[in-house]
Chain A
Amino acid sequence: MGYVFDLRGVLSGQYLDWFVIGVATTLALTCVAWCLAMAMGIILTLIRMIPLPPLGWFVALYVEYHRNVPLLVQILIWYFGVPSLLPRPARQWINAHHGEFLLAAIALGLASAAYIAEDIRSGIRSIPKAQYEAARSIGFGYLGAMGYVVLPQAMRIAIPPLINQTLLLFKNTSLAMAIGVGELTYRTREVESYTFKTFEAFAVATVIYLLISFGIMALGSYSDRRLKLETR
């Protein structure tokens, strides 16, 4: 067909720079959203431990909303919807300071937090009650039994799923292109539309995504093997 696959066109000069900026933005977005997700996930877990029904309902509603509404729609609400509710000066500040990055990070982080809270909860639930009883029998109080016996075991169980959440979060940052965040997918399309080197541009992006994903997956299976405890 006369099409010559040639990476030089997209991996030089300003196009190379665009890719580098794209990867950096993707990683930055992943990191910011991850920190927010972890913090919020732990807060949700703690709230759920308080034996007060309305708090439990709140967490349940939070989790169900974020799991049953498409992430892209959540991003659109944060980008188009939320600023329209804010006073004008706040909106201007957002527009002047690359608000799309911040709003995308909030949307991604809050959504991921719902899954993280569920992972931590099922980690805690999978520890048999007898472990808690044994700790209490030695003389530990509620906090001591949770802190020294239940949570260390629960975290071992929860870490592999949490790493999997990190992988999903990393992949989901690509959705931020829909609101103009200059991450890897967005930059790839830019390179493509400037160079018309469609396959080269997307091949580069695909390889970058795969390399980072495989790194996270390797970490996941390493932790899975490393943290597994022999029981029984």
Chain B
Amino acid sequence: MLEILENNWLLFLVGQYPHGPIGGLTMTLFMAATALALCFPFAIALALARLSPYRWLRLPATAIVHTVRGLPLIMFIFWTYFVSPLVIGRAIGGVETLIIALVVYEAAYLSEIIRAGIEGLPAGQVEAAKSLGLRYWPTTFKVVLPQALHNMLPSMVSQFVSTIKETSLGYVISAHEVTFAASQVNNVLLTQPFEVYGILALTYFVLCFALTSLARFIERRTSSGRGGAPGVIVAA
């Protein structure tokens, strides 16, 4: 196992760069971060639309969220792959495809987190802002969202972890990320698939577990002021 790692760590880390495109873990992180950053405005818009008092805003947003929740990510990847040539006139690569599909997919899930965050705020906050004479947009962007986003920080880190895991689908469409890199190593070695994919799993585990622990740490810090959890039942 160590020997595989010694001979291929660069491939796991950056793919074939500098002799080819950047790939590996670097690309995995780049794709996840880019997708999450790009989907953020869409997610906020979807969340606000779902909470809107106007039906013509609420219904389409609800439909979008439910549709995305009802489809496997891989369907979005294929749709992106087939539709984007029609839109921009040329075929796009695996990395772009995956990022676009993830933006759509994550926007829906993130919007649900943001919506829950907004709904979780005490009603008094909006009422206080209104009674100061603030209109909808200042109330939303100066009072509601800053608090909601602060409370949501742990969920956002978890969402980043989900996104990292989802980039592994690059394997299916040959986008050069770390799972694809591992499959290339496996194709060269042929005889040690358990070790190769074991290294891959361990890589993801270390990365994602660290982030998950960070999310839990933030959650404990933010919730410590809100009183304890209900009592835990233990054996008598």
What 1/0 mask marks residues of chain B from 160 to 196 whose CB sits below 8 Å from any chain A CB? 0100111011011000000100010010000111111
Contact B171 A69 (CB under 8 A): no
Number of interface residues of B (CB under 8 A): 46
Q: Cβ of B225 < 8 Å from any Cβ of A?
A: no
Q: Cβ of A228 < 8 Å from any Cβ of B?
A: no
What's the minimum C-beta distance from A16 to chain B, rounded to whole angstroms?
Answer: 20
A12 to B236, CA, bound (A): 64
Q: Which residues of A from 182 to 232 have beta carbons under 8 Å from B?
A: 185, 189, 198-199, 202, 205-206, 209-210, 213-214, 217
Contact B179 A72 (CB under 8 A): yes
Q: Which residues of A from 38 to 85 have beta carbons under 8 Å from B?
A: 49, 51, 64-65, 67-74, 76-77, 80-82, 84-85
Contact A136 B69 (CB under 8 A): no
Among A127, A172, A189, A198, point to the contact of B72 (Cβ < 8 A). A172
Contact A70 B67 (CB under 8 A): no
Q: Cβ of A125 < 8 Å from any Cβ of B?
A: yes
Closest to A205 in B: B75
Contact A126 B230 (CB under 8 A): yes
A171 to B75, CA, bound (A): 10
Across the interface, which residues of A come within 8 angstroms of B71, CB to CB?
Answer: 171, 206, 209-210, 213
Taking A68-B212, A73-B168, A125-B232 as contacts, is the C-beta distance between A82 and B194 under 8 angstroms?
yes
Contact-residue size bin, chain A (C-beta under 8 Å from the other chain): 35 or more
What 1/0 mask marks residues of chain B from 181 to 218 whose CB sits below 8 Å from any chain A CB? 00100100001111111101100110011001000000
Q: Which residues of A from 126 to 158 have beta carbons under 8 Å from B?
A: 126-130, 132, 136, 142, 146, 150
Contact B232 A84 (CB under 8 A): no
Q: Which residues of B from 36 to 70 have beta carbons under 8 Å from A?
A: 66-67, 69-70
The SS class assigned to the A binding surface is helix
Most B Cβ at <10 Å: residue of A76, A80, A217: A76
A199 to B168, CA, bound (A): 25
Across the interface, which residues of A come within 8 angstroms of B197, CB to CB?
Answer: 73, 76-77, 80-81
Among B82, B86, B232, point to the contact of A202 (Cβ < 8 A). B82
Q: Which residues of B contact A (CB under 8 A)?
A: 66-67, 69-75, 78-79, 82, 86, 161, 164-166, 168-169, 171-172, 179, 183, 186, 191-198, 200-201, 204-205, 208-209, 212, 229-233, 235-236
Among A73, A85, A206, point to the contact of B194 (Cβ < 8 A). A85
Top 7 A-B residue pairs of the complex, sorted by shortest distance between their CB atoms: A213-B70, A129-B231, A81-B194, A80-B193, A174-B72, A70-B168, A68-B208
Q: Cβ of A167 < 8 Å from any Cβ of B?
A: yes
Taking A70-B165, A127-B233 as contacts, is the C-beta distance between A177 and B74 under 8 angstroms?
yes
Contact A68 B69 (CB under 8 A): no
Q: Cβ of A178 < 8 Å from any Cβ of B?
A: yes
Across the interface, which residues of A come within 8 angstroms of B172, CB to CB?
Answer: 72, 177-178
Contact B169 A77 (CB under 8 A): no
Across the interface, which residues of B come within 8 angstroms of A150, CB to CB?
Answer: 233
Contact B186 A209 (CB under 8 A): no
